[in-house]
A and B are shown apart, each in its own frame.
Chain A
Amino acid sequence: MHFTKNVALISILLLLCCFNSKAQENYTINGVVKDSLSGETLIGVTLKFTATTQTGTSTNAYGFYSYKLNSGEYNLSVSYVGYRSINRKISINSDIRLDLNLMPENILEEVVISSEKRNDNVVNAQMGVAKINLSEIRNVPVLFGERDVLKTLQLLPGIKSAGEGNSGFYVRGGSTDQNLILLDEAPVYNASHLLGFFSTFNSDAIKDVSVFKGGMPAQYGGRLSSVLDIRMNDGNKKEFTAEGGIGLISSRLKVEGPLIKDKSSFMISGRRTYADAFLALSKDSSINKNTLYFYDLNAKVNYQIDDKNTLYLSGYFGRDELGLSETFGFDWGNATSTLRWNHLYSNRLFSNTSLIYSNYNYVIQNFLEENNFKVNSSIRDLNLKQDFQLALNNSHNIRFGLDLIHHTISPGNLTASATSSVNEITIQKRKGSEIAAYISDEWELNDRLNLVYGLRANSFYLFGPGNFPTFDVDGNTTSSREYSSGQLVKSYFNLEPRISASYQLNDISSLKSSYTRNTQNLHLMSNSTAGSPTDLYIMNSNNVKPEIADQIALGYFRNFNNDNYEFSTELYFKEMQNQIDYRSGTDLRGNRNVEADLLFGDGRAYGIEFFIKKRYGKLNGWLGYTLSKTERKFNGIDFGQWFNSKQDRTHDLSLVGIYKASKRWTLSSTFVFNTGNAVTYPAGKYQLNNKTVYYYPERNSDRLPNYHRLDLAATLESKPGNKLQSSWSFGIYNLYNRQNAFSIDFRDDPNDASRTQAVQTTLFGIIPSVTWNFKF
């Protein structure tokens, strides 16, 4: 029934669009834009066609563009950060295939003459999006000198780090599980290593990173707060290259090259830490037998069959291992793989079909004889995506498609030897599917007004086999039903409208606004303050409804000084429904009936973000500032009053500066400041069995101290001209050694048991780092 609605909607939209066609002859120009040295396709390249007016388009995730123009003479300008622009005259009097190769250029060179405008940030209707330039990531200093995409993203307004030692990030007041992280379209469930110290993304292997904080286009769905779309490099199609680095904590290596020149290439990139090598140096056998390491492997192969067909196969494998000599072992990791087929049905209909596999699992082992056990938990996804991009006419670009994903969640499989006092248990697997259909249109109404509007229809199905209890609001079982394999237990349907508009005030400034609805069918179970790799997902069920978020945003965008400076401010307001929290005393480990311990409520978040960036010059960088509030409300917590979310941080400021001091030296610095997390402090104490217990008032009514930190980095490049290029990166994290609070706990004073004291734990003081990087 729902699908007929969709078909009707799609037909109506198509009809409407056809009526809008102009009477003149129009033709299609299409092609692929690549890096002239490596053959890598380039994502998001701007192509502008100027005649009496100016219109334009950009390349998609595969470097492909397709655009309809009226016949005539145009000036085409092609621009992309980090590359030399192309300007040429073209005549449109038939369909044209125009492939373009852009030459990389040093982004820090001053752009003196710029006849073309680099103002796509002003013109595009898309708002709430941030793109990270990979060359900027290379220069921004981070912890241990490890370049990190996620950590650099957290320097943008609206995106907040979840804190040191904490994986995840918060976008516009949302929680860490409300971010959809895609690596070559495959969802990555745990995007960090070693509890958040490093992200799972090896920046050597990455081509493009975009993050949507709001105004998400209809082809994305599944999480409330953001989409982090990460694309891997395809692999140099022209020559073999290798790149890597040796650092204090980890080392990495990437090898890429052509399999068939200009047609097929591969890329393999790996990284491993050796923190446990230091442990092995100890003479103490209870230290040197411990293991602590992680590794990452990104691999990709692509084959361009012909002009119209290309195949890609990419994979990611990563694992963390923690082991306490012969007592205890804990490991976790993601494995993803994506098979994709690009096909050009015609010069204006591009299709991408993706088949995706994603698996996140963790294993905990206890080796002690009497109570040995092994617990295995996982979430596994099979995903089929079909996406079509149609350049309908000169003012409409349509995108539509299907996204089918099947989840299998194994919450816990506990095995133990016969002599163990622990019983073997298997907590029932859960299977569910999400089927989404979407359609959206990018409509250039006139010279000033651009609109991106669309609809995503999302349906969720929970299947048996298994036993499905229903709980009342107090957590008591009211009924329980047995379902057979494949039998439908529960389904949900949601419509998600997505609308984004930009109105150009003039060449250099615009106003934008957007409204989006997002729903989420997977929910991360985590009641701890820091999050843990053992946190696992559940799906909607007869007890758990889909989370829903509605967000409206308004923005003003302006470029200065010949597009050398970009400025934007965005105001947002978000309302969330069916948010999840936990009853007091909930134990999530191996919990068969976790749904009985859940509380459901609402959330709201609002704020204003400011962003100013200097793009070119010896000195460049940016400043981001967010003023915001995020709150939650649950029956069963604080008598149903609104309380601050843990991640409510009033002020959040990031300042990044990169200075090209000389031909070989680049200096960079980062300063961050944010209000501390909302926390609950005691408001009294009492005695229970001779131990001090604290009395807590309303949740999160206090704050941790403010967090601020200054990092510096300096990179020395080797002399140019050699086949082997290398560089040394020196960095200092937390230059003035500020003892930022990771947590504040309360305990009896060890010297005077009658007094209680507050104890602050800091994770990182000043940390220097050195890395040697090479490329040949």
Chain B
Amino acid sequence: MSGVVLRDVVKAYGDVVIIPKLDLEIYEGEFVVIVGPSGCGKSTTLRMIAGLEMVTSGEISIAGKDVTYAQPKARDIAMVFQSYALYPHMDVAGNMSFALRLARVPKAEIAERVQRAAEMLELTPYLDRKPKDLSGGQRQRVAMGRSIVRDAYCFLFDEPLSNLDAKLRATMRTELAILHKKLERTMVYVTHDQIEAMTMADRIVIMKDGVIQQIGSPREVYTAPENLFVAGFIGSPSMNLMDAELTRNNGALYVKGQGFELPVPGRLQERADTAKKSNIVLGLRPEHFSAADRGNGAFAPIELAVDVAEYIGSSQFIAASVGGKNLTAAVEVGPDAAPMESGTYYFDTERLYLFDRESGQAL
């Protein structure tokens, strides 16, 4: 089986178990982003794939070869570090060609490969500069160039954009996506930034406390979060989660809490019927609020007491409360609208989520 496969991988430092048991299959040529809060074990997972950390037990295979106990250089991987880790005493060309020189690749070929990577990353004018004479974005590109020239089977990225400013990060995100298209290599990317995960990934792996919470395409994890953690983690601003219970009114099923009562959509009826009625968490994404009833029958009214409305152009972020519980809504009202005030808003009930409070699992 090709790609990168982790089977029953456990990582512990002494008595402290970082990763209890992890199974993950990354297909060949796929761009997988591992995302999660700090300390969730995502970097450790990446470092185990790289061979910089040894697994406590379990198996890792890359391109069908068991590499569980192989040295990093035997794994056919290239890695970009969060801190770039450029060799300060070598110029850009020296940094990029270091691995090739170690592998005793013929000089002419090294020159050609460095040239090609430099062109791809627009680094050609800087090839004889030292890292200290480069800007943050250029250093980042050198770090990437260093792995590109390797032509490795699998590329590993450990939060490579987290040291860049917001604008540069957005640019580099696009460049990385383009790079993946060009190279068609397996890429594993670790980040704590869900926007990076959503924008670049073919599939996202969401981790918490060393356990995978959900694996799926960006669309899947956004539209069908499997549990409370994923629901709260993916999406920006994050999903509003409120304690609620299920009630029946005139035969129809409602989800009811302090200050709201919303009809349960058809897709959830069956599962809601069998769930414990009193122990429910309701999930409402801020972007599914609306200032007006869109009139397709799915929108239900909800009273919001607005604390403050933030102007962000064509939308407004509203910090409000319902029944004493804080909530965020993002309503599209056009760039000329006055700051939103308390009153009746509407929620697209087709897009509400229900979770079992005890298990945290989605209904």
User: Are A and B interaction partners?
Assistant: no
Chain B contacts to A: CB under 8 angstroms: none
Chain A contacts to B: CB under 8 angstroms: none
